[in-house]
Amino acid sequence: MITLTRTDAGPVVSIDGKTALLSGTDWDTLFNSPNLVSHLKELAASSDEFSLDGTSILAPIGTQEVWAAGVTYYRSRDARMEESKASGGQDFYAKVYSAERPELFMKASAFRVVGPGAAVRIRQDSKWNVPEPELTLAINSRGEIIGYTIGNDMSSRDIEGENPLYLPQAKVYDGSCAIGPCILIRETDISRETTIDLSIERDGETVFSGHTDLHQLKRTPEELVSYLYRETAFPAGALLMTGTGIIPGTDFSLKSGDRITICIDSIGVLRNVVA
């Protein structure tokens, strides 16, 4: 297993128990290196052992854009049809779930992304907000999936539900995107058995928990990437959230102080607090 973590000291690679600081190389260059697995093995072998103690873990992103896929799980299709019933928008969600072309939208520029432990935000002009825990693909400039991380696609359900054309406002605002804690470098494809767990704590109590696995993801990572890169260049690469399969019931909304924990087995845990 190889992980790449972005820290305030520089990129850090962990390979088979050895952790090394890759000084003298920047994140975007590493992200787009040809033969990344062997390159990281060589760099780790020629570097001293490094301890992450005392370093700050940052979001694993340089200048990549973050994009997101939508309605890729049956649960998301269902929940969105419900929330958009009054506006008459529900058919769009049913159609995109089974259409050949996936829903893809721009989620965040790098400066709008927060890392592990940082605060995510809910919009002041929204009353119904949820986190969306999503397997997130790291893709280089050549369209190759180089690894996997965890993303939280914070969403304002009342704004999107009022009119699907309000999607960018429901999805894109300061503090709406958390990514981390590291990139699990792809040596083999991620297993469909991989599980995703979300829990939300309020005043020390768990107020929501949910679970899904990648068997429920309707589209393959390659299919999503091929649509994303079809007519669009990503000179620094991109991160692509693959959609949520966990959505709390209609009676749940996030509050300030809530602690959001997303766990994807084999990648790790992404924890954030709501500002």
To ligand DO4, the closest distance from the beta carbon of 93 in angstroms equals: 6
To ligand DO4, the closest distance from the beta carbon of 125 in angstroms equals: 18
- Give the C-alpha separation, 42 to 209, whole Å: 41
To ligand DO4, the closest distance from the beta carbon of 208 in angstroms equals: 16
Residues 237-266 within binding reach of ligand DO4 (CB under 6 A): 243-244
- Give the C-alpha separation, 131 to 119, whole Å: 12
- Give the C-alpha separation, 19 to 157, whole Å: 41
Task: By CB under 5 A, name the binding residues for Mg ion.
Answer: 132, 153, 244
Q: What are the C-alpha distances in Å from 23 to residues 29, 78, 92, 140? A: 12, 47, 48, 21
Angle at 179 between CA 173 and CA 182, to 5 degrees: 165
**Which is closer to ligand DO4, CB of 161 or CB of 180?**
161
- b/e burial code for range 114-149 (CB count within 10 A of at least 16 → b): bbbebebbbbeebebbbbbbbbbbbbbbebebbbbb
**Candidate residues 80, 123, 157, 186; the one interacting with ligand DO4 per rule CB under 6 A:** 80
Contact criterion met (CB below 8 Å) for 192 and 214? yes
Residues 113-152 within binding reach of ligand DO4 (CB under 6 A): 132
Q: Which residue is nearest to ligand DO4 (CB)?
A: 70
Q: Which residue is nearest to Mg ion (CB)?
A: 153
**Dihedral of the CA atoms 90, 243, 172, 206 (nearest 10)?**
100
Q: Which does 186 bind (CB under 5 to 8 A by kind): ligand DO4, Mg ion, none?
A: none
**Candidate residues 28, 65, 153, 258; the one interacting with ligand DO4 per rule CB under 6 A:** 153
To ligand DO4, the closest distance from the beta carbon of 105 in angstroms equals: 7
Give me the residues that bind ligand DO4 (CB under 6 A), please. 68, 70-72, 76, 80, 103, 132, 153, 167, 243-244
